[in-house]
Structure 1
Amino acid sequence: MGWPLRIGLGTVASLGVAAAGYWGLVSGALPVDVGAGRRLRPLGPQAMEIAAPRELVFDILAQPYLGRATRAQREKVRVLERGSDLVLAAHTTEVAGGRLSAVTVETVRFTRPARIDFRLVRGPVPHVVESFTLTERDGGRTRLEYAGELGTDLWGLGEQWGRLVAARWEATVAASLASVKAEAERRTRPRD
């Protein structure tokens, strides 16, 4: 075998390994948790006022985990194990323009009606903790606040990966919060 063929095969093999590694990271199938060079960054905060009672907003947030999930919710959230105030759930999010699906596994703890906490078990980064805090406001309104922390390993390289993951993560949360707000306010509006 001549050297041009060896170089070509080596290049193809290297590209294949790189593509498989990227797919593994994005999908959460190959998490990098080496415990070296951990970098933390905030997620959020994001906050919104919702014209609906706090208990209703909490119920809408908790529905995919504790209640009867809609078909659309079941496509995104699958409860793997359920306790009285804690579930283990797999979350599926389309990435790369819908060409890939990222799957994260998280514990979700419920403190009715004021708080829901998430802790990453498996995903594209080794560390994520998040919370939704619900505060009652005058006039039957609710303030919903989201905040969290995302951690990556491998110093600067991990930090760059964390920026990409955090941007997608926060966009997904923002879309979810907008959906919760719309549904809570729809259910609160007086019927004609």
Structure 2
Amino acid sequence: MVWIGAAVATAVAGAGAAAGYLGLVTGALALDVGVGRRSRPLGPQTVDIAAPREAVFDVITQPYLGRATRAMREKVLVVERGSDMVLAAHRTPLAGGQLTATTVETVRFTRPERVDFRLVRGPVPAVTESFTLTEHGPGTRLVYEGELATDLWRAGQWWGGLVAPRWEATVAASLSSVRQEAEQRAALP
């Protein structure tokens, strides 16, 4: 009978660990204990775009300040809108679309040179990011930089090591979409 109790306890512990992991990965469980905080840089990622800075800024801010395309409405939900800042939920598919990670961030706009993001809820306790736009030749240079922070010393550092590459890959895909859309708009007569 003792082995049955041990087996049940092991199964319950395993299920709890799996649920905790899924909660962290999807952003449903926000863990912010404020001890043992460690930070790591995100980026920089630099993209040169053959479009005017104002056009690039408009492409970046359209899902937040304007009318979002259907594809962007599936990825970004504006929860609250102010004059120069929004609170937005960002949805990112995981595990081949089987799961969806949801982060909630404030997004602040400084036309036409900067867009700043600050994590409110997600898989780590803190992320700050910026898109900085400068005129570069006949187009625009967009530079992404940020910082990701985790708690709980080495365990958090390990978790940040798992989260950061996926986070940066998601940003890289977003930057590629921004470049494509801005260049298409700039090419229109």
TM-score interval, normalised by the smaller of the two chains: over 0.9
Which SS does the other structure have where 2:90 is aligned? strand
Note the alpha carbon deviations across 1:92-113, whole angstroms, 9 max, x for none.
1112232211110000000000
RMSD: 0.9
Match of 1:160 among 158, 161, 165: 158
Match of 1:149 among 147, 150, 160: 147
**1: distance between equivalents of 2:29 and 2:72?**
25
**2: distance between equivalents of 1:96 and 1:159?**
22
Note the alpha carbon deviations across 1:81-130, whole angstroms, 9 max, x for none.
00010000000111223221111000000000000000000000000000
Give the aligned length: 189
Note the alpha carbon deviations across 1:7-31, whole angstroms, 9 max, x for none.
1101110111001100110111111
Tell me the equivalent position of 1:73: 72
Task: Assess, with a 3 A threshold, how the Cα gap between structure 1 residues 82 and 190 changes in structure 2: closer, same or farther.
Answer: closer
**1: distance between equivalents of 2:24 and 2:188?**
47
Residue type at the aligned position of 1:47: T
Percent pairwise identity: 67
**2: distance between equivalents of 1:65 and 1:73?**
10
Residue type at the aligned position of 2:155: L
| 1:18-167 correspondence runs (5 A) | 18-139=17-138, 141-167=139-165
Tell me the equivalent position of 1:189: 187
Which SS does the other structure have where 1:184 is aligned? helix
Give TM-score scaled by structure 1 length.
Answer: 0.96
Residue type at the aligned position of 1:175: A
Unpaired stretches in structure 1, ≥5 consecutive residues: none
Note the alpha carbon deviations across 1:10-69, whole angstroms, 9 max, x for none.
111011100110011011111111111001000000001100000000000000000000
**2: distance between equivalents of 1:85 and 1:147?**
20
**2: distance between equivalents of 1:138 and 1:123?**
37
Which SS does the other structure have where 2:155 is aligned? helix
Which SS does the other structure have where 2:67 is aligned? coil
Give TM-score scaled by structure 2 length.
Answer: 0.98
Residue type at the aligned position of 1:29: A
Residue type at the aligned position of 1:151: A
| 1:7-26 correspondence runs (5 A) | 7-26=6-25
**2: distance between equivalents of 1:93 and 1:188?**
28
Which SS does the other structure have where 2:79 is aligned? strand
Which SS does the other structure have where 1:106 is aligned? strand
Residue type at the aligned position of 2:163: V
